[in-house]
Structure 1
Amino acid sequence: MQNTPDREELVKRARAVQPLVRRHAPWQEENRRLHDEVVEALDETGVFRMRVPARYGGYESDALTMAEVAAALAHADGATAWTASVSWIPTWMVGMFPDHVQEEVFSTHGGRVCGTLSPSAMAEPTEGGFTVNGRWGFISGAPNSHWQEVIALAPTPDGADRYPVVALVPMSDLRIMDDWHAVGLRGSGSVSTVAENVFVPAERVLPLMSVLKGESASEANRELPMYRAPLLAVAAAASVGTPTGLAEAALELFLERAGERGITYTDYARQVDAPITHLQVAEASLKTDQARFHGERTARLLDGKGALGEEWSLRERARCRVDVAAVCKLAKETVTVLGEASGGRSVYTDVPMQRIVRDVGALNLHALMYPETGFELYGRVLCGLEPNTLYV
C-alpha cells in the first residue's frame, strides 16, 4: 500500500530543494523556463502528484498543503513556485473527466499538465470528436508538461451560438512558441501554444460550465473531498502560496542585508538602527501576516467543505476570488516597501530582491488574481447583484 506523505513531509521536501532552486534561479531567468534539474527535483518530491487521485499514485493533498508547499518553493524562486502551483489547477481538472481518460493522462510520467481558462480557440465537430484550431497564451510550465488542458468555443447543437469546452491534448499535438519574453516570472516558461487542425476525441472534451460548477464526469472521483468544490475556488487556493512566500522571502532577505549595510549619505552605519527601518519592517511584517490569513482562509474553506461535502454559496465562491486578490495586493505592498528600502545595490540582477519585486508585480497582473477585479466581484455579490463573470 502506498505511503502517502502528509503536509509536514511535503513541506519538508519543498524546503529541502530550496538550495537547488536558488542555484538555478539565475539560469531560469536567462533561459525563460525551469531548469531540467529543478523539474526533476519537483517530480521526485511529489509536487506534481499533489492533486492526482491516489489510485494513480497521487497524494490527493489538501488545499492548505498546496499553499504551504508553494510558499516554501517561493522562498527560493517565484517562477518555480508559480509553475508548480499553477500545474495543480489543470491537474485537478483532469479528474473531472471520465475515469478511462484520467488513466490515459496520468499514466504518462504522473501526467504533468499545464493549461488555461481562456477560450481563445475554435472546436469544430467532426466524426468521433472535434477539430481544434487556435492559440493560447501564458501557458506556464508548457516546456516541461506532457498534456495541456485547453479551452475552445464549440457550436451549440443548432449552430446558432458557441459555448466553451475543456479539452485534453497531448503536448506532442501542439506547437510551442518561444515567445515568453517577460519582466516577471521569467523562469516559468509561460509560452504560447498553438493547435493546428488537432483532432480531440469526444471523450476528452467537457463543457466548461460543468467543470466550473464542479460537476464531475468521473465515477471514482465524485466522493473524493478534493473534488467537492467549484473550479475557481480550487484555482484560488492553489494560487495563494506563491505571493505569500514571495512576501515572506522579501522580509527575510531585507533583514539579512539590513544588518550589514548602512544608509548612504546618512550617519547610519547599519540600516537596522534607523527608525524608518523599524517602521518599514513592521508594516511589511503585518501585511505579510494579513496575506497569509487570506490565503489560509480560502484553503481552510476549501478543505472544510470538501471534507463535509457541503454546497457552496455564491458568497463563498466570490470570497475565494477576493481572498487571492487580497493576498496579491498585500504581497505587492509588502515587497514594494522592502524593495524601495533596499538601496541602489538591489537593482543588480544578482540580488534576489529585484526578482521578487518583478515576480510579485507579474502575479498582480494575472486576470484571475488582479486585485481590483476580485474586489469588484465580491462587492457585487455582497450588494446582492449577480456576478458579471462565469469565473466564480
Structure 2
Amino acid sequence: MTNTEAPPRPDLVGRAAELVGLIRKHAGWQDENRVLHDEVLQGLADTGLLKMRIPVRYGGYESDTRTVCDVVAELGRGDGSVGWTVSTWMIGCWLVGLFPDEVQDEVFADPNVRICGSVSPNGMAVPTEGGVTLNGKWHFNTGAPQSQWDVHSVLLATDDGNYVPAAVVVPMSELTVVDDWHTSGLRATGSVTTIAENLFVPQARVLPMLPVLLQGQHLSERNADSPVWRTPFLPFAATVGASPALGMAQAAREAFFERLPGRKITYTGYELQVEAPLTHLQVAEAAVKLDEAEFHLNRQAEHLDTKAQNGETWTLQERALARMDAGAVCQRAKESVDVLNTASGGSSIYSHVPMQRIERDVQAINLNGIMHPDTNAETYGRVLCGLEPNTDFL
C-alpha cells in the first residue's frame, strides 16, 4: 500500500471524545503514579489514536495537523498529562517518518508503537564503523517508561572537528531510565531522564537535522510526496505541543460549571454563587480567553496543513509566528484556567477536585521552553523588527 492509498478515515476526534470519561476515571491514579493507566493506554490503542502520524502503508492514518491537534486537545480535556504524552508520541512518530524506509520498517512493525523523544541535544554521537557511538543524558523524556523507542537529539561529530545537530532512533531497552519525574504539574507524563553510555547506533538510525530543519529534506523515499512529511519540524511540534493546553482550559470550564449549582460565596450574602455579578464577569472572561486560545491553535494548524498540501516554503516570519501562536494558546488557556480556579473557592484544593490538577498542569505547560509565551513573543517581535531570531528552534 502506498501513502496515497489511504483507508477510510475514522472519526478520530469523536473517538478521543469518547475516551474522556475513561481518562478522567483514572486521572487521580495517573497523577499519583506518574504514568498513564494501562486502561488508558489500551483505550488509545483500541481507538487507533496512536496511529495518527504513522504512514498509511503500516496501517496508520497520516492525519493532518488539524486532526492531530483536535484529538490531543480532547485527550487533554480528559487529563492534561494524557494530551501532552500523546502529543509527544505523535511528534516521535513524525520524526521516525523522516528516517530511511528500512528504519521505518523496523520501528513501525507495531502500528501502535509508542515513540518518545527529547528536543534538547544533550548527547554526543561520534562516528564509528557502521554507525555512531552515543553518549548522553536527556531530561524531560515524556512517555519514556511506556514507550518502545526513543528519538534523541544529539550533536554529531564531523570530520573537521565540528558538530552538527542530528537525531538518533534507539530502542528503549538499550537506554538507562532514571525515575526522577517528581513534579508539581503534568505528573502523569512520566517525563523521566534517559541515559546512553557508549551505545552503538547503526548509521541508518542517524539523521542529520539541518537539512530537515532548514531545507525540509529527509531520508525517506516513500514519505517524500506525503504532505504530512512536508511540514517543518518546529512549527508542527510547537502547534501539536500546545494543543493539550486548550483541552485543559475546556476541562476547567466543565469542572467549574459542574460544581456551580448550589454553591454559595462564603462570608457574603450570596447564597448562590451563580447569582453574583462577580461570577458573571469571571465566567465571561474565562470564556473569551478560551476562545482566543482556540483561535491561535486553529489558525496555526490550518496554516500548517495548507502550506504542506500546496508544497509551499516557509518564511522566517511564518516560522516565528508558529512559535508565537503556540505560546498564545498556552498563555490564554492558563489565563482562562486561572480565572475559574480563583472562582472555585477553597474547596477546590482537595485532591479529588479536578480544578487543582488542571491548574498545576496548565502552569507546567506554560513553562516548557518551546511553548513559553514570553520567549516566543520576544522571538516573534525580533523577527518583525528585522532582527535575527536569536534561536535555531524555528
Normalising by the residue count of structure 2, what TM-score does the alignment of the two structures yield? 0.96
What amino acid maps onto 2:359 in structure 1?
V
What amino acid maps onto 1:245 in structure 2?
G
Q: Which moved more, 1:373-382 or 1:232-241?
A: 232-241
Residue 285 of structure 1 is matched in structure 2 by: 287
**Are 1:241 and 2:243 matched, yes or no?**
yes
Residue 156 of structure 2 is matched in structure 1 by: 154
Q: How far apart, CA to CA, are the structure 2 residues paired with 1:64 and 1:36?
A: 27
> Size of the alignment, in residue pairs?
389
What amino acid maps onto 2:375 in structure 1?
T
- Describe how 1:185-264 pairs up with structure 2 within 5 A: 185-213=186-214, 214-264=216-266
Q: 2:319 aligns with which of 296, 317, 321?
A: 317
**Are 1:101 and 2:103 matched, yes or no?**
yes
Contact 1:229/1:312 (8 A) holds in 2: no
Residue 182 of structure 1 is matched in structure 2 by: 183
**Are 1:270 and 2:283 matched, yes or no?**
no
Q: How far apart, CA to CA, are the structure 2 residues paired with 1:295 and 1:25?
A: 25
After superposition, what is the alpha-carbon deviation per residue over 1:119-157, rounded to whole angstroms, capped at 9, x for unaligned?
111112111111111110111111111100001112221
Residue 142 of structure 1 is matched in structure 2 by: 144
SS state at 2:319 partner: helix
What amino acid maps onto 1:199 in structure 2?
F
Following superposition, the deviation at residue 108 of structure 1 comes to 3.2
Contact 1:87/1:114 (8 A) holds in 2: yes
Following superposition, the deviation at residue 307 of structure 1 comes to 1.0
Contact 1:280/1:338 (8 A) holds in 2: yes
After superposition, what is the alpha-carbon deviation per residue over 1:184-230, rounded to whole angstroms, capped at 9, x for unaligned?
00111111111111110111101121232321111111110111121
Following superposition, the deviation at residue 252 of structure 1 comes to 1.6
Following superposition, the deviation at residue 109 of structure 1 comes to 4.8
**Are 1:111 and 2:120 matched, yes or no?**
no
After superposition, what is the alpha-carbon deviation per residue over 1:341-392, rounded to whole angstroms, capped at 9, x for unaligned?
1000000000000000000000000000000110011111111112211100
Residue 305 of structure 1 is matched in structure 2 by: 307
Residue 337 of structure 1 is matched in structure 2 by: 339
Q: Which moved more, 1:170-179 or 1:237-246?
A: 237-246
Contact 2:103/2:204 (8 A) holds in 1: yes
SS state at 2:361 partner: helix
Q: Which runs of 4+ in 1 moved over 6 A?
A: none
Q: How far apart, CA to CA, are the structure 2 residues paired with 1:174 and 1:238?
A: 26
Contact 2:54/2:111 (8 A) holds in 1: no
Contact 1:112/1:147 (8 A) holds in 2: yes
Q: How far apart, CA to CA, are the structure 1 residues paired with 2:297 and 2:111?
A: 30
Distance 1:2 1:318, change over 3 A: closer
Q: How far apart, CA to CA, are the structure 1 residues paired with 2:71 and 2:255?
A: 19
Contact 2:7/2:61 (8 A) holds in 1: no
Contact 2:324/2:380 (8 A) holds in 1: yes
After superposition, what is the alpha-carbon deviation per residue over 1:61-108, rounded to whole angstroms, capped at 9, x for unaligned?
111111111111111111011101121112101111111111111013
Distance 1:316 1:288, change over 3 A: same
Q: How far apart, CA to CA, are the structure 1 residues paired with 2:249 and 2:164?
A: 39
Q: How far apart, CA to CA, are the structure 2 residues paired with 1:254 and 1:44?
A: 31
Residue 23 of structure 1 is matched in structure 2 by: 25
- Describe how 1:48-127 pairs up with structure 2 within 5 A: 48-127=50-129
SS state at 1:75 partner: helix
Contact 2:6/2:61 (8 A) holds in 1: no
Q: How far apart, CA to CA, are the structure 1 residues paired with 2:334 and 2:103?
A: 40
Q: How far apart, CA to CA, are the structure 1 residues paired with 2:6 and 2:366?
A: 39
Residue 40 of structure 1 is matched in structure 2 by: 42
Contact 1:237/1:302 (8 A) holds in 2: no
Q: How far apart, CA to CA, are the structure 1 residues paired with 2:16 and 2:7?
A: 18
What amino acid maps onto 2:56 in structure 1?
A
Q: How far apart, CA to CA, are the structure 2 residues paired with 1:19 and 1:173?
A: 36
RMSD: 1.2
Q: 1:3 aligns with which of 7, 14, 27?
A: 7
Contact 1:87/1:113 (8 A) holds in 2: yes
Residue 168 of structure 2 is matched in structure 1 by: 167
Normalising by the residue count of structure 1, what TM-score does the alignment of the two structures yield? 0.97
